[in-house]
Amino acid sequence: MGKSLMEKTVIQRILRREVMRESVIYQEWETELKAEGKEEERRILAMKMLQEGLSLETIARITEYSLEQLQAMQEQIN
């Protein structure tokens, strides 16, 4: 059994699932994970638009990335 799986099992044994979901820490983790997922989706969208050749200004307006951030992403592609 992997370390993280074992830790998860131990935590679940200590705390019931319902109690975990109500805890402030669990809710903070959940919020952080959702935010990270949204940021990753935004980055992927910007990269696809760069690959399609849309203007940096258009991509910046849509994704709310700065021109400097988009230029850095564009350098990664090239």
Give, in degrees to the nearest 5, the angle at Cα 72 between 69 and 73.
90
Contact 66, 60 (CB under 8 A): yes
Over 90: is that where the pLDDT of 57 sits?
Answer: yes
| pLDDT tens sequence across 14-37 | 666 666 677 788 788 888 989 898
pLDDT band at 69 (very low <50, low <70, confident <90, very high): very high
DSSP state for residue 32 in the 8-state scheme = H
Q: What percent of the chain has pLDDT over 90?
A: 50
